[in-house]
Structure 1
């Protein structure tokens, strides 16, 4: 039996056995050095689920990214000012833009009505996503925003019937996200039977809110979001301190070759100088060079007694391990192999680093692009059964690719239409092209289900 009285419990196998009783702990929240009861919440219950503690009146600000420690202008200045960082950004953009792609059916069978026509229409749309530039040029503009500001923005230009006509890249630094009472992007809702799209973004031009956008008008897609921010964190922002150091190192080397040089050294003074005279001259010397890097790199005329004893303590270091360390950090932020910027290594190690860089760096970028375009296919082009697919393209030799696909189709691993999709070709309409078949002496024979 169980005793329900407060503070005690008892168990018994049958009524004739002796009960085993114990007293439950009597310590309360308000007891000796207890945890105490929590304070009564001040907020109303309907704010449960607020994403983050945003500043009051957050939407009233007219400056994008004004609550972040690093501004958009600073990020663009760092990316353009440090030549090594710019080279790495352009390299990563080249690697992504040279990839081949195609539009294919998700079910890989191709039995939907008009599938080939819809694949062709979607392929033609993304051949020139903004209506004028080819896909590679359009992608480079988009990735520039991803790598530097992490504020990729695409304006959905539509015709009078509401059909999507183009995806036009916008300067993400002019877009200010708007949040709802829960700290999230406002979602559409029904009011009086009508679907209402609230303002989700504002474009700030000349310092003023110029136009409002809803999620139907604009795709704003930061790649590296955080729960307590509305703005993304780009690779450039992740290495701000390193880039600042590298910029100063770069300016130091530039001044060495343009303004002359004074190496680290010890300069003697006449023996009859007193400590006060030495200290006074040292202050004059330091003040003369303070704040002027160019002046610091020029030789100066000094009294004869001072010039008689000159001991150079250190040769100027133009390139060393520290420069390689800076290059490695920047390359690591973009998952680029630092092989071309550091000391030579053996071939096996270099090839391994190259493969890791391609897998860890380029693959996530391609996956992000695929997810973005798949969303456009499903939401705006009304083709949820289609998907954007990256193909091997230039990465595989044509003869090798032909051999691989032929073997796969002859053994029933791939259908003819799946092989055509890998080559970026439109599927055939014949039903047999969607059936796995094996090659025998009598020809191709369909495989049993």
Structure 2
């Protein structure tokens, strides 16, 4: 006779503590089989030494070691198309329900609709749980029900709706004994078709001191003053609720509002999924991008002849991380100085950034291009030289990542700033008028 159980499907929530979907699965079921699916639709597009796939595999291994040490069941690791995996699971087990935490990206929504239709046709409940954000979808909207497209009023409404109850933990860790003990598949990183990466994802650092000093230090790339929290929120190795609790405990508005920015972009992508590859302001899709491939390659390689731009790109290529202040500069440089389509830059970041999250990446790229919600005006063009005076006056960041910037071998500037600025303003004006 088939074993009767519920399934919990791990996705971007790789933790056993304060995991809302896992908590609901464990407290509403007698027996739970946790699974993770290495989805070929996603994996097939990635380089075979992708640090993020390595990170996911390492985290799943760590969780399974913890469960084994406690004498509980394990997370089953599967690979393929999610629909095929679920077909196989319901053949082998008597599945009463499937729980998972919501993912708001367009592909995830399509995938989940497909899985829900399949499971419902087999009389199996598919339960999607909010976990990744504090407020989702249409929970923070204008009084007329329309979504906010400007951050500040969104943030104010977000705070007006917020109560301490919103960040109460879901103590999933107290019910792990309900994870069923079964002989479930295990996969090595090689089994998944990947190799070990030379890059690794750093631990996050969210100390009271970092939060308290965040506003004063966050703009200076030479200082190790950022939390490195991005990948951990992206893959859910830490609970968003816990990070909100820490920010509020330190009474730091700036750090708290950075977390709210993330939710702002999540709801923008939810309401306007077309923005993943179309301008939020349609007239910006009329811009006559130059899209010079040689210049794009030089930008990617950090060989533009502008040291602060090059430092950011070399840091990204070597480590999978780039300081947020520098992300704005390199993004603006690509779109405004080189007149290269923001989608090219967005795709490059998607391949390289450890903390890549579609909502924030698209939102920020459209911001620098001027085409997005609450965007910088098109005539705001960062001067990549004067930015050094503001944010790397001692050249510590540049010296670290572009040690050759005073050598004869260092390239001449790819374009003159004044010329590029005029060209950009004329190109944008022609498109927008």
Fold in common (TM above 0.5): no
Which has the larger share of strand? Answer: 1
Query: Highest CA radius of gyration, 1 or 2?
Result: 1
